[in-house]
Amino acid sequence: MAEYKYEFVNVRIRDGIAWAFLNRPDKRNAMAPQLHYDMDDALARLEVDDDVRVVVVSGEGGNFSAGQDLKKFFRELEKNPGERKKAAAAANRWRWERLYTYDKPTIAMVHGFCVGGAFMQLLGCDFAIAAEDATFSLSEVNWGILPGALVSKCIADALLPRHALYYACLGDPFDGKEAARIGLINYAVPAAKLEDAVTDLAERLMKKSPAVLRATKHAVRQVRTMDVPQAYDYLAAKGQAIKVADKEDSYNTGLRQFLDEKSYKPTFEPFKLGTLLTDQRSSAAKK
């Protein structure tokens, strides 16, 4: 198993799930330049790690992230434009460009504070589960700036306009239950049950065909900005592309198990993975 050692990121891998924790607990995981470099590298490696099938993004010490570190990321880099540009590029890359197009399912596990710039990785992840008592806040307006980078864009795309404007313009905090109500997260659970809820979701995702799951999440992301003819063409091409490198031969395997073997009910469960090689050997033996 690969080693992941960083100054401000902790990675733990078990049973196919990689838990990537921002690790500045004394600062409520406020994001400094080195944290961005660490997380950017960790996510790049986890995406191609064969021991990993789902990635969970969270924070150590009881907090998701208090946003950008105002001192380290802003004030200390004001007179160092080169480093500021480098840090901003890494910050935007892992929080959005990597997560938005990630090949593996990603889950944000939110507890404690999720503030400001942390909304990017929250919404960059495919799924999000929060503790009911988590504290969310688009606080930028309260300290004199707008929600920058892609925060305003992410919020505008994810929420109804009234919700987006209300919380961006007021900066008021809200809890996990409200985050679920307005569609910012999938659902909220009591804090004591948070890790179990995230694990359950990850395990359910790992039962799906990796190739089809990857294509499906990419498709849902991409068609949002397409018109109908573009979406038709894109989805047809995506459907064909799945078959090229799909080790499960998911289309034919799923049909066989449902129609011929009657071994599962697709409305309620996925087809069984890892049967293709066994079936091929069985067919060869019969010949």
> What integer pLDDT is reported at residue 236 of this predicted model?
95
Residue 21: both structure tokens together:
């924790």
**68 beta partners:** 31
Q: In Å, what is the CA distance from 99 to each residue of 164, 201, 211?
A: 22, 18, 17
> What integer pLDDT is reported at residue 81 of this predicted model?
83
> What integer pLDDT is reported at residue 281 of this predicted model?
47
> What integer pLDDT is reported at residue 79 of this predicted model?
79
CB 208, CB 250: distance < 8 Å: no
pLDDT tens string, the chain, 287 residues long: the values are: 899 999 999 999 999 999 999 999 999 999 999 999 999 999 999 999 999 999 999 999 999 999 998 888 877 778 788 888 898 999 999 999 999 999 999 999 999 999 999 999 999 999 999 999 999 999 999 988 889 889 999 999 999 999 999 999 999 999 999 999 999 999 999 999 999 999 999 999 999 999 999 999 999 999 999 999 999 999 999 999 988 889 899 989 998 999 899 999 999 999 999 887 555 545 545 55
> What integer pLDDT is reported at residue 280 of this predicted model?
53
76 contacts: CB under 8 Å, gap ≥ 6:
none
> What integer pLDDT is reported at residue 245 of this predicted model?
80
How does pLDDT run across 90-121, given as a tens digit for each residue?
999 999 999 999 999 999 999 999 999 999 99
> What integer pLDDT is reported at residue 277 of this predicted model?
55
Q: Give the alpha-carbon dihedral of 146, 159, 214, 132, to 10 degrees.
A: 90
User: How many other C-beta atoms lie within 10 A of the C-beta of residue 225?
Assistant: 9
Instruction: Give the closest residue to 91 by CA, choosing from 22, 137, 39, 162.
Output: 39
CA quadruple 179, 182, 185, 186: dihedral positive or negative?
positive
Instruction: Give the closest residue to 70 by CA, choosing from 140, 167, 150.
Output: 140
Q: Give the alpha-carbon dihedral of 139, 145, 149, 155, to 10 degrees.
A: 40
